[in-house]
């Protein structure tokens, strides 16, 4: 239900696709499309021709007159100049409806300039995504799932196909139907092809029987589509699809030629039952030895299955039938599609095929076997096995030697036994030796040992002794059994070992994934995370990699410094940008720009794009293996998750800080309003009295009122300065203007500034003459000192002595400001430097508790520390450090 709503929503924003659908070339799709275009043009709709293939047909060309046509794009293709549909021009023109002929057309992937997508249907997808309505044409033989059927009917295999999804999701399908006789008539009249091509065309493709079959196929396909639409609406009207017992199709494929047929058959069955379906490939030890070409074919097959809408799974296990059974049961498959057994006679009885085994053990699902198509022949013999280097066991000559040694030992033991035991028991020594060789040394050495054992037994013990001739024929049976046992055992062990190696390789990769996740979790900062990920990915996939992150403007950029040598430095930013904009992978082996040398993966499918992982593999094929690609995507996803998590954490932190700032602002407002209002009321009162009643007052009163105005104004001025200073500090607007200063100078200036306020306090200054110069901002340090002294003036009684001293402490100078006043309240010492803290409760003393907060900010900005404590002998002690050296940066 929800899925349907979402699908509807995406559709609402997407452009609408209208397909003019025909059974074959020449039925008049393009003609009908252009006619419709002319009609709609007259009603004022903004319809534009993006690309139409006229095939030199005069009627079609006539129809084009009077319609706006976008210029085609010249493409240099292997020395010749072709004209191709211009996607970018269409996106720029943004018509209401764009007409693009030939939905199944393949773009010239090697052309110059290289196309963005391999196929025209991808161009059209992008147009639709951008909200442009598209009209296009396609023939039934281009539909992927019908591809092999059409090939069977006509004997011509169509290379250009479109995914059925495009056809099924089209908003409107217009079937252009023409009876076969009329079509042949048009063909002969030269309306479809240029006359000289006609005879061969009729002969090869346009036979009447073919045309009838194709017509039926296309009618049925359209009918199916109507049916499916009707069913979908009925189902959504009822409660939910989950109520329905749904079919689940599992297509089991092997490495043989029938696999492709099975995939297409699976698709048709799944469509017919409206079921989900998956294609399963089992990797058995046997199959691991297939040649690279075979494996590549399998990759293409799995990709075909994916493009047909299947979920693809690669499983591994010792026996294909066993693994398929387990998978079918766990995924609750209702039908299993598999190729018909091909083994016949005794061989089939000895080693039953996967199919027969599956049928025998089928529980809870049906097995549909698909017979071989006529055109196909079972593969003659196995292609030359070429062991994939990755999983191959290296040849160990030493093991052959060891195998011979076991045989020698067995012979020695047998000689020792000979006087006391029957030959039947002596054979056991050799069987034991063969078994050990099979278990320990692998297939080759085991076979060697078995053969040598048989020969040694024959030569040494079987009468006549010390010849290879055999007197009694029954020993031949002994030899045969010995050999079979040894070889079978060796084979079994080899399989197990191979399996272990494969599993080991997988496990290694999984553990690498965990290693990356773990390191990512411990890494701070997106750029550092990218570096970590690049290092891991490059190691695991044997490639160069780079993570492209967007800058503040949202444009992707290369990382500033190439932090790792495996960094991929020539990543194509325009491809990467496309990936990030569309959230789909592109480049090598993908649907978009497959000719690019590197693969570009989005870090997340989420709309807030995090970045792109670009990978330049050392070996192209390796990244194309589906499981490798999935693993790579897992890595990218893992990185994306980690980065997303980091970003969220940052946001949470920012939110916390902003909340804190907010509460600070409120406290500040409350506090300031009190401290501003008091002097303001004095000023307003005193000055208004002077203005109104000044003449009636005596000179002394006037003087005292004016003084009050002056003092209060000064207090306010200082308060406002403090608040402004702190604001500027907090917002980071203050840059330190450092210079070399002597402490005497700074202390002198500070005392000068507070002279009036501390006039009654005796000040003692002890600054050693050898004190080095300080590299500080003079104004700010003076401000800090002024605030400290002010504080003393406010909170200590008059005549309290003040002591200022300094001492060198390594690269720092420690400045101590002591007073002999009442000391600091112990409970508040911790929070003394926080904003709005005061030594006493509000009221008696003027000034928001900002002075010490500003001190701390200033000292910290210089890289120093400020602390508060007790002066030995009574009173408060405030100490801070300042640097004597220029900061390293």
Partner 1 sequence: MHRILVIEDDAAIRNVLRVLLCAEQYRVVEAETAARADIEARTHRPDLLLVDLGLPDGDGITVIKEVRAWSTVPILVLSARTMDAQKVAALDAGADDYVTKPFSAPELLARVRAALRRSARNIEQPPVLQLGNIAIDLTRREARSPSAEVHLTPLEYRVLDCLARQGGMIVTANQLIREVWGPGRLGDTRSLRVCIKNLRQKLEANSSRPQYIVTEPGVGYRLRVPLVTDAVPASSRRAD
Which residue, 673 or 779, has its beta carbon nearer to partner 1?
779
Q: Cis link prior to 464 (omega < 30° from 0)?
A: yes
**Contact between 760 and partner 1 per CB under 8 A:** no
Which residue, 196 or 756, has its beta carbon nearer to partner 1?
756
User: In this structure, what token pair is assigned to residue 72?
Assistant: 């085609």
Which residue, 401 or 811, has its beta carbon nearer to partner 1?
811
Strand order across the 802-809 sheet: 763-766, 802-809, 812-819, 876-883, 866-870
Which residue, 494 or 706, has its beta carbon nearer to partner 1?
706
Distances (CA, A) of 142 to 53, 150, 155, 164, 207: 17, 9, 14, 9, 18
Nearest to 612 by CA among 541, 561, 537: 537
User: What DSSP element (H or E) covers 217?
Assistant: helix 208-237
Burial 646-656 (b: 16+ CB within 10 A, else e): beeeeeeeeee
Residues 108-127 within binding reach of partner 1 (CB under 8 A) = none
**Contact between 751 and partner 1 per CB under 8 A:** yes
Given 56, 379, 583, 752, the residue binding partner 1 (CB under 8 A): 752
User: What DSSP element (H or E) covers 666?
Assistant: helix 626-693
Q: CB 749 → partner 1: shortest distance, Å?
A: 5
What residues form DSSP beta bridges with 250?
Answer: 278, 336
Stretch that binds partner 1, among 199-207, 283-291, 404-412, 736-744 (CB under 8 A): 736-744
**Contact between 741 and partner 1 per CB under 8 A:** yes
Please state, in angstroms and rounded to a whole number, the distance separating the CA atoms of residues 269 and 250: 10
Q: CB 675 → partner 1: shortest distance, Å?
A: 17
Please state, in angstroms and rounded to a whole number, the distance separating the CA atoms of residues 506 and 527: 29
**Contact between 94 and partner 1 per CB under 8 A:** no
**Contact between 768 and partner 1 per CB under 8 A:** no
**Contact between 688 and partner 1 per CB under 8 A:** no
Which residue, 311 or 764, has its beta carbon nearer to partner 1?
764
**Contact between 725 and partner 1 per CB under 8 A:** yes
Q: CB 600 → partner 1: shortest distance, Å?
A: 48
Stretch that binds partner 1, among 286-294, 429-437, 471-479, 779-787 (CB under 8 A): 779-787
Which residue, 294 or 718, has its beta carbon nearer to partner 1?
718
Which residue, 212 or 778, has its beta carbon nearer to partner 1?
778
Given 744, 830, 834, 842, the residue binding partner 1 (CB under 8 A): 744
What's the number of CA atoms in the CB half-sphere (13 Å) around residue 470?
13
Nearest to 586 by CA among 560, 614, 611: 614
User: In this structure, what token pair is assigned to residue 640?
Assistant: 């994306």
Which residue, 825 or 887, has its beta carbon nearer to partner 1?
887
Given 697, 767, 814, 846, the residue binding partner 1 (CB under 8 A): 767
Please state, in angstroms and rounded to a whole number, the distance separating the CA atoms of residues 368 and 251: 9
Which residue, 782 or 817, has its beta carbon nearer to partner 1?
782
Nearest to 617 by CA among 602, 597, 591, 603: 597
Stretch that binds partner 1, among 140-148, 497-505, 732-740, 809-817 (CB under 8 A): 732-740
Which residue, 278 or 741, has its beta carbon nearer to partner 1?
741
Q: CB 826 → partner 1: shortest distance, Å?
A: 32
Nearest to 736 by CA among 668, 789, 784: 784
**Contact between 748 and partner 1 per CB under 8 A:** yes
Q: CB of 461 within 8 A of CB of 418?
A: yes
Nearest to 121 by CA among 575, 591, 584: 591
- Kindly state the number of chain residues that form the binding site for partner 1, as judged by CB under 8 A: 30
**Contact between 763 and partner 1 per CB under 8 A:** yes
User: What DSSP element (H or E) covers 671?
Assistant: helix 626-693
Given 710, 809, 834, 842, the residue binding partner 1 (CB under 8 A): 710
Q: What is the DSSP string of 599-652?
A: EEEES-SSSS---EEEEEESSHHHHHSHHHHHHHHHHHHHHHHHHHHHHHHHHH
Q: CB 809 → partner 1: shortest distance, Å?
A: 20
Stretch that binds partner 1, among 4-12, 224-232, 425-433, 733-741 (CB under 8 A): 733-741
Q: CB 741 → partner 1: shortest distance, Å?
A: 7
**Contact between 765 and partner 1 per CB under 8 A:** yes
Given 82, 360, 737, 885, the residue binding partner 1 (CB under 8 A): 737
Nearest to 339 by CA among 279, 283, 391, 405: 279
CA quadruple 687, 688, 692, 696: dihedral sign: negative
Given 742, 828, 860, 867, the residue binding partner 1 (CB under 8 A): 742
Degrees to nearest 5, angle at CA 68 with 66 and 73: 130
Please state, in angstroms and rounded to a whole number, the distance separating the CA atoms of residues 529 and 514: 14
Please state, in angstroms and rounded to a whole number, the distance separating the CA atoms of residues 388 and 392: 6
Given 493, 746, 789, 859, the residue binding partner 1 (CB under 8 A): 746
Please state, in angstroms and rounded to a whole number, the distance separating the CA atoms of residues 217 and 508: 50
Nearest to 598 by CA among 607, 606, 589: 589
Given 212, 423, 487, 778, the residue binding partner 1 (CB under 8 A): 778
**Contact between 739 and partner 1 per CB under 8 A:** yes
Which residue, 635 or 729, has its beta carbon nearer to partner 1?
729
Please state, in angstroms and rounded to a whole number, the distance separating the CA atoms of residues 138 and 149: 17
Cα dihedral 639→645→646→650 (10° resolution): 160
Please state, in angstroms and rounded to a whole number, the distance separating the CA atoms of residues 345 and 356: 13
**Contact between 724 and partner 1 per CB under 8 A:** yes
Q: CB 682 → partner 1: shortest distance, Å?
A: 16
Which residue, 440 or 757, has its beta carbon nearer to partner 1?
757
Please state, in angstroms and rounded to a whole number, the distance separating the CA atoms of residues 64 and 51: 11
Given 7, 362, 773, 808, the residue binding partner 1 (CB under 8 A): 773
Q: CB 687 → partner 1: shortest distance, Å?
A: 13
One symbol per residue from 351 to 380: x for binding partner 1 (CB under 8 A), - otherwise; what is it? ------------------------------
Q: What letter does residue 140 receive in the DSSP assignment?
A: G
Return phi, psi of residue 764, to 5°.
Answer: -115, 130
Which residue, 412 or 724, has its beta carbon nearer to partner 1?
724
Q: CB 697 → partner 1: shortest distance, Å?
A: 20
Stretch that binds partner 1, among 547-555, 656-664, 676-684, 770-778 (CB under 8 A): 770-778
> Hunting for tokens 């698709």 — which residue is that?
267
Which residue, 91 or 814, has its beta carbon nearer to partner 1?
814
User: In this structure, what token pair is assigned to residue 69?
Assistant: 């046509």
Given 314, 523, 749, 837, the residue binding partner 1 (CB under 8 A): 749
Which residue, 388 or 766, has its beta carbon nearer to partner 1?
766
Q: What letter does residue 162 receive in the DSSP assignment?
A: B
Given 349, 415, 514, 740, the residue binding partner 1 (CB under 8 A): 740
Stretch that binds partner 1, among 30-38, 42-50, 188-196, 717-725 (CB under 8 A): 717-725
Q: CB of 34 within 8 A of CB of 67?
A: yes
Q: CB of 405 within 8 A of CB of 290?
A: no
**Contact between 428 and partner 1 per CB under 8 A:** no
Q: CB of 129 within 8 A of CB of 14?
A: yes
Stretch that binds partner 1, among 24-32, 117-125, 618-626, 712-720 (CB under 8 A): 712-720
Given 76, 570, 658, 717, the residue binding partner 1 (CB under 8 A): 717
- List contacts with partner 1 (CB under 8 A): 710, 713-714, 717, 721, 724-725, 728, 737, 739-742, 744-749, 751-752, 763, 765, 767, 773, 777-779, 781-782
């Amino acid at each position: 239900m929800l899925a349907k709503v979402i699908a509807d929503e995406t559709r609402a924003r997407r452009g609408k696709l209208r397909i003019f659908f025909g059974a074959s070339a020449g039925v008049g799709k393009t003609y009908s499309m252009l006619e419709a275009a002319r009609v709609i043009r007259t009603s004022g709709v903004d319809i534009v021709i993006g690309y139409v293939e006229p095939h030199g047909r005069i009627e079609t060309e006539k129809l084009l007159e009077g319609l706006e046509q976008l210029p085609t794009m010249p493409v240099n293709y292997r020395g010749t100049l072709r004209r191709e549909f211009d996607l970018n021009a269409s996106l720029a023109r943004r018509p209401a409806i764009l007409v693009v002929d030939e939905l199944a057309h393949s773009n010239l992937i090697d052309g110059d300039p290289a196309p963005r997508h391999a196929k025209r249907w991808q161009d059209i997808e992008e147009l639709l995504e951008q909200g442009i309505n598209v009209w296009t044409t396609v023939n039934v033989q281009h539909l992927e799932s019908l591809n092999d059927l059409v090939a069977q009917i006509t004997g011509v295999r169509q290379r250009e196909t479109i995914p059925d999804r495009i056809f099924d999701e089209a908003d409107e399908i217009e079937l252009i139907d023409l009876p076969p006789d009329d079509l042949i008539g048009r063909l002969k009249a030269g309306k479809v092809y240029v006359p000289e091509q006609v005879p061969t065309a009729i002969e090869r493709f346009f036979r009447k029987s073919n045309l009838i079959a194709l017509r039926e196929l296309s009618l049925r396909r359209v009918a199916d589509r109507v049916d499916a639409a009707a069913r979908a609406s009925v189902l959504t009207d009822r409660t939910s699809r989950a109520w329905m017992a749904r079919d689940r199709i599992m297509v089991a494929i092997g490495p043989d030629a029938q696999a492709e047929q099975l995939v297409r058959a699976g698709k048709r069955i799944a469509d017919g039952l409206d079921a989900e379906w998956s294609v399963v490939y089992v990797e058995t030890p046997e199959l691991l030895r297939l040649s690279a070409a075979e494996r590549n074919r399998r990759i293409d097959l799995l990709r075909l299955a994916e493009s047909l809408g299947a979920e693809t799974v690669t499983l591994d296990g010792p026996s294909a039938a066993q693994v398929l059974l387990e998978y079918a049961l766990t995924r609750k498959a209702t039908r299993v599609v598999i190729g018909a057994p091909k083994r016949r006679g005794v061989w089939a009885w000895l080693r039953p095929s996967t199919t027969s085994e599956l049928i025998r053990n089928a529980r809870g699902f049906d097995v549909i076997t698909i017979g071989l198509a006529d055109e196909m022949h079972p593969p003659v013999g196995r292609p030359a096995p070429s062991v994939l280097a990755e999983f191959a066991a290296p040849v160990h000559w030493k093991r052959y030697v060891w195998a011979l040694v076991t045989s020698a030992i067995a012979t020695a033991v047998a000689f020792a036994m000979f006087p006391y035991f029957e030959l039947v028991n002596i054979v056991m020594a050799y069987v034991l030796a063969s078994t050990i060789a099979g278990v320990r040394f692998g297939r080759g050495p085991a076979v060697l040992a078995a053969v040598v054992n048989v020969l040694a037994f024959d030569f040494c013990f079987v009468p006549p002794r010390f010849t290879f001739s055999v007197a009694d024929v029954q020993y031949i049976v002994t030899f045969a059994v010995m050999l079979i046992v040894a070889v079978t055992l060796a084979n079994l062990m080899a399989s197990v070992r191979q399996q272990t190696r494969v599993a080991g390789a997988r496990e290694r990769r999984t553990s690498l994934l965990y290693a990356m996740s773990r390191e990512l979790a411990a890494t701070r900062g997106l750029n550092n995370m990218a570096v970590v990920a690049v290092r891991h990915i490059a190691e695991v996939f044997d490639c160069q990699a780079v993570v492209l992150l967007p800058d503040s403007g949202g444009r992707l950029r290369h990382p500033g410094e190439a932090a790792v040598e495996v960094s991929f430095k020539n990543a194509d930013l325009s491809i990467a940008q496309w990936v990030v904009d569309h959230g789909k992978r592109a480049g090598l082996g993908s649907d978009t720009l497959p000719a690019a040398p590197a693969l570009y993966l989005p870090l997340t499918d989420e709309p807030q794009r995090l970045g792109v992982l670009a990978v330049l593999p050392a070996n192209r094929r390796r990244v194309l293996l589906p499981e490798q690609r999935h693993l790579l995507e897992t890595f990218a996803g893992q990185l994306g998750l980690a980065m997303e998590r980091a970003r969220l954490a940052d946001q949470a932190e920012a939110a916390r800080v902003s909340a804190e700032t907010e509460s600070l602002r409120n406290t500040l407002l409350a506090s300031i309003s009190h401290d501003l209002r008091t002097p303001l009321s004095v000023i307003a009162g005193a000055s208004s009295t002077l203005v109104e009643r000044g003449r009636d007052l005596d000179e002394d009163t006037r003087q005292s009122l004016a003084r009050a105005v002056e003092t209060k104004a000064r207090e306010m001025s200082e308060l406002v300065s403090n608040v402004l200073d702190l604001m500027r500090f907090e917002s980071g607007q203050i840059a330190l203007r450092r210079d070399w200063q002597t402490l005497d100078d700074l202390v002198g200036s500070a005392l000068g500034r507070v002279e009036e306020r501390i006039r009654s306090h005796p000040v003692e200054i002890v600054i050693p003459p050898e004190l080095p110069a300080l590299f500080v901002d003079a104004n700010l340090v003076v401000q800090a000192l002024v605030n400290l002294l002010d504080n003393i003036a406010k909170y200590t009684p008059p005549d309290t002595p003040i002591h200022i001293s300094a001492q060198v402490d390594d690269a720092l100078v420690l400045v101590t400001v002591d007073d002999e006043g009442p000391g600091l309240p112990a409970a508040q010492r911790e929070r003394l430097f926080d904003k709005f803290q005061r030594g006493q409760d509000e009221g008696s003393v003027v000034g928001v508790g900002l002075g010490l907060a500003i001190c701390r900010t200033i000292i910290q900005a210089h890289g120093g520390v400020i602390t508060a404590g007790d002066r030995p002998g009574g009173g408060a002690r405030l100490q801070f450090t300042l640097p004597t050296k220029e900061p390293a940066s």
